[in-house]
Structures are given as C-alpha cells and as structure tokens.
Structure 1
C-alpha cells in the first residue's frame, strides 16, 4: 500500500469523526486543503481516500446513537463489579463500576473513620449490590476547564451513581473470574504492595511507569512533570512496549526457545501487558503495533511503518471513533508518525544527536496540542527531555520492573532495596521541582482553531525544508516564530473590552480586560469557605477554586500579569485565593477596601503582598481609576464602621458606552447609602450583590440603576439558598435579563463601540 495513500486516508477518517461532532470554518478549510493535495498527488485514487470522510462521519453518527445509557433515570437498585481501583480521598470514595454491561462512576461520602477503614478493603473485581440514585455528570461550566460530562461520554459512561450506603459486607470476590479480571486483580495487588513498601511519591512514580497508574503521585511532583513537558514519560507507551518485548526476547532465547516462537510468545503476552498497564489509548496503539510488527517478522513480510501506523489508527477508530478526542491518542499517534516519517533526519547521527533531534521534533510537533490544553509551554522542555528521556527509560523504568519482580519472587529482599530506590526516585522528583522554580514558561493562552491550523503548517514547513536541504537552519523557524509572535500581539490589537464573570461556585471573581489590553484587572479571587473537619475527613489535597478555575482562566486568556487585583472585601468566598494568586501570578497593584480592624485573612494577604513587593492601595468612596476611554469609579465604602459585607468595594465601570455596577456583598443599608450619594447612577449590567441574597437588591436600588442585564454569581445547590426567589422576582418584574454562573457557567460580556455581545459556556 502507498504510504501517502494510507496517511491521507487516516486524515480524512479523523476529519469525518471531527465533523460528526462539530463543523467549523477551520475544518472546512482544512478539508479543502486536503482535497486539493489528494487530487494533485493521487489523481485516480482520490475517490478511495475521500470516501473515508463520509464513511467515518456516518459511522461516528451511528456510534453515537448507540452510545446511550440502558438505565432509566429512576433506577435505584444495582448489582455489578468494581472495575477500577477504589480511590479514597478524605471522606469520599470513588471507582468505576460495571452493572448490566454498562460502566458507572460510583461516588460515596463516608460517614465515619470506622466506615472509611472498612471501605478501604474494597478491591477491583468485587461483586457489589448498591441502592442509590443516578446523577448526570456535571456539564462544562468553564471555558478553560475540562468538560467532565464529555470526558465520561467519550468513555461510554453516562451516569454517576451515589449509593445511599456502601456496605463492604455486601461486596464479595467473584470466584468465576475471567482472565482479564485476574490480570486486573494482580495489577491491583502489585500497586498496593509498592505503596506498602515505599513512600507515596516513590510508589506513585513506579506505579505510573510499570502499571500506568498515576493516582497517588504527590501533587508537586505531578505538576513539575506537567509544567516541564514530561508527562509523556509517566504514560506507558511504545518505548515501554519495546523494552519489555526486548527483555522477554532475551529471556526466551536464553532458555533455548527459537526466535520465531519467542516472537509468537511476545505477541501472546502483549494483550496481557495492555490490560496490565491500564489499557489507555497510547499503550493500545503501541501494543497493537508491536503485535503486528512481530507477526510480519514471523511471516517474513515487510510493510512501510507509516502504513502500519495508519492501519492501527483506522482499526482503533473503527473500534471507538471517540478515541479521536483523547489527548493520549492524539499525542501518541502524532509523535509516532513524526518519528517514523523523519528517518532520513536521523542518518549518521550519534546517540546524543539522535536524542536532541527526536526531543526537538516531538517538542515542536506537540507544541500546538500542549498549548491548546495547557495554555503554556516550558522552555525547559527540550533540555529536560534530553536528560530525562534516557534517565526514565533506561534507569527508572527498569528499576521499577526489577522492584516489582523482587516483591513477588523474593519479598524479603525488598528491604535492602528500599533506601537506594527511594533516594533515586525522590532525588529525581526534587530536581524537577527545583528546575520548575526557574521561570522558563512561555504563556500564550489557548490558540484559536485558525492559529492551531497555521501552527501545524509552519511546523510542517520546518521539517519539509530540513529534510529537503538535509540540514537544519534556524531561519526555517521564522514562520513559526512569526505566528507565535502574532498570537502574543493579537490581544493588544483587539479594540473590544471584555468583562468575564468566572464561575467559582459560591463566590465571586470578575476579570476585566480593557480595550487593546491596556490593562487587566481581577476583582476577587473566589475561595472555599472552610468548614470544620475531623482528621479522617481531610482530603489529600483540598479543592482550590482559585488554583483550578481562576488561574487556568487567566492563562487560557493569555494573560501574563495583572495590572490590578481588587478585593471587594476579605470574606473567604471573595478573597480566599488571594494569597495563592499573589504567590503564583505577577500582580502590579493590590487594591483593598479601607478597614481599621483587619481580619486574619486580610493580615496574611497584606504580609504576602509586602513580601512580593506588590504596591498596595486602599479604596474608598470617590476614588477614580481611568485608562483611555475606560473609567472605574469607587462608590463605596465610605469609611463608616459597618458590617464586613457593607464594607465591600462597589465599583461603577464604564467601557465605551456600556457601564457595569459591581457590588460585592453589600446589603440594603449600603445600597441606600449609594442611592443617597449617587442619585443619578445608571448601569447597563448589574452584578447582583451577595450572590442574590434576599438582604440585597432592593426595588429602590434596581429603580436607580435600571440595568438591562444582571449577573448572579452563586454555587449550584448551595446551602444558603442563593439566589433568593424574591430577588429573581424583583429582577423579572423590572424586565432584567438574568445570567447565573450556577446555570450558565462562565459569562463574558464583550464590549465594543457599537454595543454588547454576551457569551456563556452553557
């Protein structure tokens, strides 16, 4: 088969799957480009390639029609098998559970320390009976966050099961275990043995390398791998398959097995290895390619590697077209394709040169995908990869396999290995954490679909010219650097202003980007309201909405520093993430409400600001901030000693011809004060005070402001009952269009000279 024909067939198959989910202008342009290329390159065979697009388009549509739940929403009784290792975090336990042939995610909130200890005995393969309710997975509510519902849907999971009670006594080990179940149980046992003998981080890294299980790696270490572009080393992939196959081959040959039979035995083992390592898309790809390659050797057949890769890709898409939206699938196939089609660039290269070239190629080709998902790219990625690829592949991975073997065959010898192995893994993690502290991150934000396309065109140009001239010249990267520079500059050429109401649950966080990005202000950071917990209830890492939502939003927008961080007041749900943000993101000026009696949180914020050398200003009624045609007027506080909520900073913001009234958590007393002092106040958009509490948003205040739109920032199903029904009624009576973060997710008001455009996630 013609390699060009095979690769283009895959591209059209992927385009068909993509179009089944969404049709975009960028996609149509890409398809047109591919059609033109095919017509001139293949001519008579054009039809053969083109048919893959409608074929996979309609196949994906048919697959989606089948990808539905068999359970009615009111189902309450379930019996099935635990399919994944139960994860215990604080007072929550979760795992995947197969019932009636369908996968569910089970989540259960434990009620006591004794119950937690009992449920830790739950293991993969156990047969359990549950009574509970089915809940829809949470839909996407953040522009720059994961779509959890879509993530589960792509894995054929449609419900979250919340049992009313989980009784470990009702879960029994299935005596009629299948081979796959036995492999999974052995994997679970091995993972727990490593965790029992080594520190959390050492065991977590070894489990990732050997079994593809990354759940218990310490957060700092995992973040270091992610930020330095090394997460691919923690994913079991082709290199792992190669090493394991090589050692098995040496073993079989050494014990006298002929090499043809050794190949057959390795082919038989590889499916077991796929299950043993978690069955992610990257290992499935590597395993299938390994099996096909060995079969070709046995039957003395040759096939172009690009054709082999294309066959595997088409096979996996035929099994599940939703693989196309899996990040591991995308990176695994892209990197493999890049390497096997660039063999000519590896000729006459030393091992060191090969490592540098392959690291550079993989870093450059993965750049647009990494940028799309993580918004930034570490400049340390290339040098660190050059060092860590051989270190992890040739040292940490073999050591991990050796330790697993010792645990199973000579368990008493593990204690001799404990200290040197832990030193090796902990030291490697510490070095990464240290390197990460040196700022080498290129923060660009999420590229649009157009930028995503032209990045790849520029990268293809680099490698086409490199291969054609048989030598790399720095000038080949000029188009790529130009596009990168263009992405950096575009926000500063955009005349529109944007006001984003970020969905931080029960809290506030508002991002204001002035026209031409002359300045960027963040009003409040969100933050979790602390509740007293017993020691057993404390999670390994508490959810931090500023870290998980606000910071990714800033990075996703391509914002590299804040001109101002304005705190309306020092309640946890408004300012709880301030210390974290000050430590992890550049801020020029911190604006605080004038307050004589500082809370513990305010004191900590001020101390952190001083340590970071951040300028601090205190806001009070009548102060004004201006930049070009944009104006910020402080309406409150007045300096009176009132409640914490009524000391909130209230801002009137004017952008072009549109005005916003941002009210913090003020209540009716402060509203009346504003009415008396600013009796001509009007606003197009009102940020409803105190998350829609009944103590705010009086009829008099609405009559004064006369907003056309209102935004309520509140958490879904919050314990306070926000927003209050009477507030919603008042807004409807005034014919105000209401947007809510608990229903609409992130909300963006885009302000231009001619008017206002409103976007929301939902």
Structure 2
C-alpha cells in the first residue's frame, strides 16, 4: 500500500470490528466518514483495499465473537489448570488467569497461613500445571448504573468463569511445555521481588512501575494525586519510555563499537523481550511495534511514515484480538498518539521554544484523551495541561534514567546504590508533595458525568476543531471555544436537567441513598455505606483493599455529573452507614453535613468531623423539627426527639415529599424507635418506606407498617450478607400488607426517575 494510505486500512479495520461489537450512531458516523473520505480521494484501488479490509475484519470479528464461548458448566469441577501468568498474591488472596482445556479461567484462592503463602510465592510460577478442585462461578453483572462491568471486562479477556478453590497443593504442581513468554514472566516477577527487597520504600513503586510496568505498590493517595493532575500516564511504560530505551541502547552499543546493522537486529530481539517483561500492556506493545516498523523503514528504505507505523500497529492488534477495542489503555494510547502525529507539524513549526512546544503537546494530548476519560471515568484533568509541562521532562530526564541506573548499579556497587537511592528518594518525596499540593486545587479535575453517544460525538468534534483551527493559524482562544461550549452545555444538562432522581445505591451491606432534585435545586446524600474493618495479621493485609467509597460511591456520583453535595446526612455513627464518607473529601464538594446529636462520640465519626473541619465544612447536629424546603419538595427530620445518643435508635429519620411521592428514610431505627415515632405522630403516611436496619427482624414491625401504610418498601442489604438480611419475618409483614418490595441484594441499585410529580421505579438487575 502507498505511503500514508495505511491509515485508511486502519479505519476500515476499526469500522469492521465496531459494526459487529457496537452497532450504534457513533459506528455509523465513523463508517460514513471513512467511506466519504475514501470516495473523495477518487482512487478505485484505494476504495477496493478499504472495502477488502472492512469485509475481512467484519468476518474476523464475527469469528472471534462466535468462538468467545465456554465449554464448562456452573458447579464443582476437578481439572488440571496451567498458570498463564505469575499469580498475584496480595495479602491472603491468590488470583491468576489459568487455562484448562484451552479455556481461560480466573482462579481465586484464600490462603490459609503465612507459611502456605511463602510456599506458594516460591513454588507457583507462570507455566505451572496443577490439579484443582473448585467451584465454577459466573462473574456478577453491574449492580450500579455505569459501574465498572467486571463481567464484561472478563468477557473481553475471554474469561467466562471464576474458579474458586479451597486448596492448592503445590507439591502436585509440575512444569511442562514451558514457553519463552512464561520464562520472561517469571523473570519479571523476580525483578519486581528484587526491587521490593533492595530499594528504599519511597522508590519501590516508581522502580517497579517504570522498569516492569507494575503499579500495584503505589499508595492510594499518591496514585490518586497523579490522576487528578493528569500525569498518571507517566507511571506506566509507554512510547516515551520505549523511545528513551531505544535511544539509550543505541548510544551504548554504538559506543561499544557495535555496528548499526547489528544494533538493528539486536533491537529486534531486546524490544520484544522487554515488552513481555513490562507486562504486555497495549501501550507498550504499540510503542515497540511502531519502533520496530520505523527502524525497519529507515534501514530498508520502506515507504512507511509515522502515521503508517501507527496504523499498521493498530491493524496487528485487531488481527490478534478485536476485543482490545474495549481496553481503555488501548484506546488512549492510539488516540493520543494519532492526534500528536497529525498535529506535529503545526506544533513544531509554530512553537520554536521548548516550553511552548511542550505546552502545545500537553494541550493536544489532553484534548485527545478527555472524551475517553469522560466515558470511562466521568472526569478529566484540566491542570494536567500545565502539570505535564513540568512532570514529563522531570520523569524523562531524571526519574526514568535514575530507576534504570539504580537497578543496574545495585548489582555492582552497594555504596553507590545507597548514596544515589537516598538522593533520588528525597527528590521523589518532594515531587509527591508538589503533586499532592496542586491536586488539591479545587478545579484540578472536571467531572463530566457519563456522556451519551451524542455528547461523545460532539466532544470528539470539539477536539478535532481545536487541531484544525490551530493548523489554520487561528487564535488559541478561538480554537478552544467550540470545545468549551460543548463542555458547558454538557455540564448545564447534567446540573439543570428537568429530571430528578432518587438512587438507592447498591453499596453492599450498608446504606447510601442519593437524592438529585431537578433544575439543580438540591443534591442530598443520606449515608455513604462503608465497611467494618477487622484486625488481621500483617501477612493477610492487602496492598489495596476494596474501598466502597472509591470503587462504588464516587463512581456513582461522578457518573451523574455530581461535583457538589448540598447536604450530606449521616444518620448515625455505624461504619456500614458512614465509613465511606471520608473518601468524599477532596473529591466532591460538600456544602453541609447533618449528624444526630452527640453521635460524634465515636472514633469513626470523630475522624469524619476532623476532616470536615480541615475542609471547612459546617456541621449541624439536628433532631425532630429541623428541616428545609424548596420548589421541588419538603424535607423534615422527625427523629430523634432528644439529644441522648443510643446508636441505632438515635438514627436521623427523614420524612420528605417530592416527585409526587412521600418518602420515609429510616436509617437503622429498630422497633423501640418505631414505637416512639408511632406514639409521637398522630399520622405519618408515606408512599415509600426505606426499611430500617437493612430489613433486620429487630425493625419493621407489623404495627409500624400499618401506621405508615406504604406502597413501596426499599431494603438495602448486601448480596449473600453474613447477617441474613432481610429477615423473612420482615418480608412476610410487608407482603401481607401488599407492599411492593425492592431489594438491592437481589435487584442491585434502585432508581426512581421523576419529572415534576410523576415518576417510575427502575432496577439494575431485574
């Protein structure tokens, strides 16, 4: 194919894949643009190749889709499995992708002792074959709208089953048919282990991330700060790192007297090996493929441009696995690189100074990535435009060379390693402080909400218009204006929508209810959910334990475009109601917090109040008689009646009327509190009863249900929770009184969407 024409083949390839996987408006537009562009070229040969590639990838995708099926059934199974990768052992959990009868499975095992953990770390490596007895379980679907779909993710990895086993006998494992990739994966694991053993704690995450592509050691707050300032891509091995490595190898080998021809062939060996050692992530593979293609083009004088190399790499990816289009790293890597290539002439021609060039590259990279970041993560970094100008050269010139050098020096001279590692650790320490400082800037990130197809299309158009206008010598303010208008309209639609919504978030075994009133009249969050943490031995502690706040609550809020909570109501101080509140600070603006009188006399609540003081959030202790109202409804606290804090029976109880219904949110009130409410209020009808204490048998008596006379009852409880919530007695009482029951443990998140005084209930799973 002629120079510069491989791009059209790439467009044909992605069109063929998407028409099978994702047939919607965006796909139709993509195919239409590609076809029209080809027709305007007026080259029959090019049109022929475009159609040929399109048909080929349609057939390839159909084949891959039809063969991404399982041969196993649900239930217990005995099988031989082979570890495709080094198992991930984190605390007392072992997880790994394994293969049995040529089908991928995700193995999960809870390690029983510290001794067993050590033995597994020493004896189970990539390529090990073991005999396993376990249960095949299907991955769960999303339990909250727009949440990360683990089931879909595993499906794109060709995994249909979780294999849970109660024992792994490493003595019965053996190694046969060991592949080169298995050997390289094991070398990578030894390298990671070497870093963890010898490097200072401050440098371990950076060394493992930049040498081996392993980011699991980063503290959560440090990693999040890099995300917020838009430089987290520097903590992953990508094109910048590969380019540096190629240049470094080339210079070293040339100085050693090795010929350019020999260096060329050595790079064809070294780069694929390093690609596997880095973890085979899409950005690394893309960078290696492009490097090898461009090196070959230079050596053999092939008619391949940088855009051709990117397009050919893209086609190779899809040839091996069309499902990679769902990988965010794949999308970001190719999209950003494509935009930088097509705008490179304008960037370097119009920006003679280094700072201006870096700034323009950062702007283009941010605009190219933000539709993808908005789609997957519902936010993108604005301050990243400036942060990249600082951090990219800092990492390229200092941190990356330092990590590689320290790793090599450690094998030859401990004194030099000790001296330079302490120096670099000090530099890294202050760079982290700087990142944390600028990430605290109020507008460091913009929360976009989950954009629909139309919004995504306009975001892409806005980003393209910026590049187009800059190339045509238009002022930057004018160039960025279309995109700014698109973002403002998107934000206005999220904030001032005429639709209101109540979401009973599936937070697991806990409570969290979001009330979003129409026209931005109020956003209220009743409780946040949370986990009860038990003390465990050091060897059982996980590097990054599951956090309800960061992994469920915040994604739900951000997917709705919520950047501000007007009222955070913490009904009482139990961890399953307020444990995740601390994860909101610094992420979501909170205007005011309501708590039950004297509930602050609790370590967890005390910590939340301490954070609220740091962030300048006012606290109000409220009880019956307090409330507020606006054009959308009335909100009134009806309990507790006094200032004595008694745990569950001092929960804040909120009565509200909005969206055409009356609501009663009960917190963890038990039957004693219910009796006080019945004795205090002559009449308290409500259409919707948020059942108290997760449906425990200590709450929701028959007298109380008759007193409230609800049409609907919502029970928030964890799927297969250890407490047996909701209790059958409570379900019987509700059913006997003809109350329609919604349960988060069965139906996932419960939504009530309304306009004015009319609305409908919706559930995620049923």
TM-score > 0.5, shorter chain as reference = yes
- Residue 90 of structure 2 contacts residue 543 of structure 2 at CA under 8 Å; is this kept in 1? yes
Post-superposition shift, 1:458? 1.2
Is 1:633 the counterpart of 2:636? The answer is: yes
In structure 1, the residue matched to 2:93 is 92
Q: d(CA) in 2 for partners of 1:342 and 1:539?
A: 44
Post-superposition shift, 1:610? 4.4
Cα 1:12–1:700 shift into 2, 3 Å: farther
In structure 2, the residue matched to 1:406 is 409
Q: d(CA) in 1 for partners of 2:211 and 2:699?
A: 57
- Residue 20 of structure 1 contacts residue 58 of structure 1 at CA under 8 Å; is this kept in 2? no
Post-superposition shift, 1:322? 0.8
Q: d(CA) in 1 for partners of 2:268 and 2:702?
A: 75
Post-superposition shift, 1:664? 1.3
| Equivalent position to 1:544, from 543, 547, 560 | 547
In structure 2, the residue matched to 1:686 is 689
Bigger CA drift: 612-621 or 480-489? 612-621
Q: d(CA) in 2 for partners of 1:8 and 1:510?
A: 49
In structure 1, the residue matched to 2:456 is 452
In structure 2, the residue matched to 1:313 is 314
Cα 1:631–1:26 shift into 2, 3 Å: farther
1:62-77 paired onto structure 2 within 5 Å? 62-77=63-78
Post-superposition shift, 1:577? 2.7
- SS of the residue 2:75 aligns to: coil
Q: d(CA) in 2 for partners of 1:620 and 1:488?
A: 35
Cα 1:262–1:686 shift into 2, 3 Å: same
Post-superposition shift, 1:324? 0.5
Query: How big is each residue's C-alpha offset from its partner over 1:89-128, in whole Å with a ceiling of 9 and x where there is no partner?
Result: 3322323333343333322222333333333324533443
Query: How big is each residue's C-alpha offset from its partner over 1:491-534, in whole Å with a ceiling of 9 and x where there is no partner?
Result: 34312211111111100011111121111111011111233433
- Residue 201 of structure 1 contacts residue 217 of structure 1 at CA under 8 Å; is this kept in 2? no
Cα 1:613–1:304 shift into 2, 3 Å: closer
- Residue 86 of structure 1 contacts residue 122 of structure 1 at CA under 8 Å; is this kept in 2? no
- Structure 1 unmatched runs, 5+: none
Bigger CA drift: 691-700 or 18-27? 18-27
| Equivalent position to 1:695, from 690, 694, 698 | 698
Post-superposition shift, 1:746? 2.5
- SS of the residue 1:200 aligns to: coil
- Residue 443 of structure 1 contacts residue 558 of structure 1 at CA under 8 Å; is this kept in 2? no
Post-superposition shift, 1:171? 4.0
- Residue 217 of structure 2 contacts residue 543 of structure 2 at CA under 8 Å; is this kept in 1? no
1:571-720 paired onto structure 2 within 5 Å? 571-582=574-585, 585-595=588-598, 598-639=601-642, 644-678=647-681, 680-720=683-723
| Equivalent position to 2:467, from 458, 463, 470 | 463
In structure 2, the residue matched to 1:204 is 205
- Residue 201 of structure 1 contacts residue 218 of structure 1 at CA under 8 Å; is this kept in 2? no
- Structure 2 unmatched runs, 5+: none
- SS of the residue 1:341 aligns to: helix
Post-superposition shift, 1:208? 1.1
- Residue 359 of structure 1 contacts residue 386 of structure 1 at CA under 8 Å; is this kept in 2? yes
Q: d(CA) in 2 for partners of 1:498 and 1:379?
A: 29
Post-superposition shift, 1:209? 1.0
Post-superposition shift, 1:20? 2.9
Bigger CA drift: 33-42 or 436-445? 33-42
In structure 2, the residue matched to 1:514 is 517
In structure 1, the residue matched to 2:278 is 277
- Residue 527 of structure 1 contacts residue 575 of structure 1 at CA under 8 Å; is this kept in 2? yes
Query: How big is each residue's C-alpha offset from its partner over 1:571-602, in whole Å with a ceiling of 9 and x where there is no partner?
Result: 11112233443565432222122358944444
Post-superposition shift, 1:288? 1.6
Q: d(CA) in 2 for partners of 1:316 and 1:613?
A: 50
Post-superposition shift, 1:39? 4.3
Post-superposition shift, 1:204? 1.8
Is 1:361 the counterpart of 2:386? The answer is: no
Aligned residues: 760
Is 1:137 the counterpart of 2:170? The answer is: no
- Residue 529 of structure 2 contacts residue 577 of structure 2 at CA under 8 Å; is this kept in 1? yes
Post-superposition shift, 1:328? 1.0
In structure 2, the residue matched to 1:128 is 130
Post-superposition shift, 1:480? 0.9
Post-superposition shift, 1:407? 3.8
Q: d(CA) in 2 for partners of 1:79 and 1:412?
A: 48
Is 1:739 the counterpart of 2:742? The answer is: yes
- SS of the residue 1:307 aligns to: helix
Q: d(CA) in 1 for partners of 2:444 and 2:609?
A: 27
Name the TM-score, length of structure 1 as normaliser.
Answer: 0.92
Question: Over aligned residues, Cα RMSD in angstroms?
Answer: 2.9
Cα 1:535–1:255 shift into 2, 3 Å: closer
Cα 1:667–1:240 shift into 2, 3 Å: same
Post-superposition shift, 1:165? 1.5
Is 1:332 the counterpart of 2:336? The answer is: no
- SS of the residue 2:80 aligns to: strand
In structure 1, the residue matched to 2:248 is 247
Cα 1:474–1:548 shift into 2, 3 Å: same
Cα 1:598–1:138 shift into 2, 3 Å: same
- SS of the residue 2:460 aligns to: helix
- SS of the residue 2:566 aligns to: strand
Q: d(CA) in 2 for partners of 1:467 and 1:384?
A: 24
Name the TM-score, length of structure 2 as normaliser.
Answer: 0.92
- SS of the residue 1:497 aligns to: strand
In structure 1, the residue matched to 2:559 is 556
Bigger CA drift: 14-23 or 630-639? 14-23
In structure 1, the residue matched to 2:161 is 159
Is 1:296 the counterpart of 2:297? The answer is: yes
Query: How big is each residue's C-alpha offset from its partner over 1:673-701, in whole Å with a ceiling of 9 and x where there is no partner?
Result: 43454454333332222112223233343
In structure 2, the residue matched to 1:191 is 192
- SS of the residue 1:137 aligns to: coil
In structure 2, the residue matched to 1:60 is 61
In structure 2, the residue matched to 1:423 is 426
In structure 2, the residue matched to 1:237 is 238
Cα 1:632–1:23 shift into 2, 3 Å: farther
- Residue 183 of structure 1 contacts residue 275 of structure 1 at CA under 8 Å; is this kept in 2? yes
In structure 2, the residue matched to 1:11 is 11
